[in-house]
Amino acid sequence: MTKLEAVREFEHKAAERISASDRLEFHLTPLVGWMNDPNGFCYYDGAYHLFYQYHPYSTVWGPMHWGHAVSTDLLHWNYMPCALAPDTVADAAGCFSGSAVPMPDGRLLLMYTGVQPAGTGHKELQMQCIAAGNGRDFCKDQHNPVISTEQLPDGFHAVDFRDPKIWQEGGTYYSVIACRHEKHQGSVLLFESADGRQWKFVSVLDSSCGELGKMWECPDFFALDGMQVLLVSPQEMRATADSEFHAGEGTVALLGLYDPATHAFARQKVQAVDYGLDFYAPQTTLAPDGRRIMVAWMQSWATVPGTPCAGGKPWFGRMTLPRELTIKDGRLYQTPVREIETLWQGKTELSGVAVEERAALPGISGRSLDLTVRIDVDASPECRRFTLRFAEDAALYNEIRCDLDRCELAFDRSHGGSRRDIPHTRHIKAAPQNGKLTLRLILDKDCAELFVNNGERVLSAVLDTPLEAQGITFGADGGPVNLDIVQYTLA
């Protein structure tokens, strides 16, 4: 029995012991075991395919495989058998992150980082491999790795060379790959190929000289609304005074212009992708209707240590709700995929509500919901601070605090029941738009995603609060706050 056959047999038996009630409602979790980075997000043969970094044998990180799920609506996922296992010389130490693209002959091409042991006293080597198949079973190329140390420009090395994002344009395959330069730290390299097998280096698209972390991971590169977007996930970021970036691992969007003739990218704007506590390694795909859709690992390496497996569940990790990307006024915006409206049930709408003392409002509660709160700042001149508590009971709560004077927002889960010494609070800028501050909170059991001002900023977090905590309350300091509220139960 091969390694892939063995893992498929194992996951089939192990998954039978996991009931649907043990999983989230509309966020993808691993079939069994451990999940991290999304891989191979694409639309192929009438469905969305989402692969993921996967250790099926444990709920902690281990030798990386590729898990696999498919969906027609981005909300309900059907599990497929494990797609890749570390079973060749080229990937003996792991099948690391990568991507996928449909081929002209009808097959699906996977491009991933194969990790090879480098011998005693040396780091592992990371090189790029491919596998092609029918969307379920994939055959690794006999010439793997297809991009190795010999194809790297001077100053780069295959010790940190990973996470290819492949696409096809004008009959040519392109791939952006993260690599560490001996001087410039994190960089993104561009390669091209006529057939997906023979690759050559084209250019260095962008680099960090330490100002945006050190090693960059999981790049993505695409055109959007007249600009070019380069997504990276830097390691060892420094926090900035304006709260744009927090310390540690982060996610960064570099917006600029790209010249396809010279393969030069000119960065014009830098912003965080997600400002929350649990978000890393985003990857995008182009939907058949032209939408650019992004998904990410809803976790952070800073919050992994000691994380309970959601009350002892036999899986760890989850993906964010897929999001639609747009650019407005030179800034990247994100909104939940519109498919979520198919889950809307039980609408509760409250208009012109004045809240001062902390209060629960009729019909507003739950842990699987889509809640929009519009704060009429102009109509609340005396209110200094607004607070929204959710996943609340008599002892526990998670809180969103809006300082209306300073135009700042805090997301705080420190009172939500966690017993771990990990980050629990994030602060962001949050100014009203046309006199109103809009908060859209989507809850799926222990997942919380907050979209501020129609996606101008987004915060993602995993909650440690028991599901029995269903309460939602509102409060104001200084004077009453005027609110418009719409809640849909999601089912």
Residue for token digits 């090879």? 116
Domains and CATH numbers, the chain: 3-336 (2.115.10.20), 340-490 (2.60.120.560)
**Rounded to whole angstroms, how far apart are CA atoms 442 and 461?**
11
Mean pLDDT of 229-249: 93
Q: Which residue has the higher pLDDT, 241 or 393?
A: 393
Mean pLDDT of 414-424: 91
What is the residue-averaged pLDDT of the chain?
95
Q: Which residue has the higher pLDDT, 122 or 287?
A: 287
Residue 479 has pLDDT above 50, yes or no: yes
- How buried is 306 (Cβ within 10 angstroms: 0-12 exposed, 13-18 middle, 19+ buried)? exposed
pLDDT tens-place string over residues 292-342: 999 999 998 988 865 555 456 789 999 999 999 999 999 999 999 999 999
Q: Per the residue annotation, which of 37, 278, 412, 444 is the catalytic one?
A: 37
Contact (Cβ atoms closer than 8 angstroms) between residue 89 and residue 78: no
Q: Which of 45-49, 83-87, 127-131, 147-151 has the lowest mean pLDDT?
A: 147-151
Note if 37 is an active site residue: yes
Task: Count the Cβ atoms, other than its own, within 10 Å of residue 162.
Answer: 25
**Rounded to whole angstroms, how far apart are CA atoms 364 and 238?**
39
Mean pLDDT of 224-249: 94
Contact (Cβ atoms closer than 8 angstroms) between residue 124 and residue 114: no
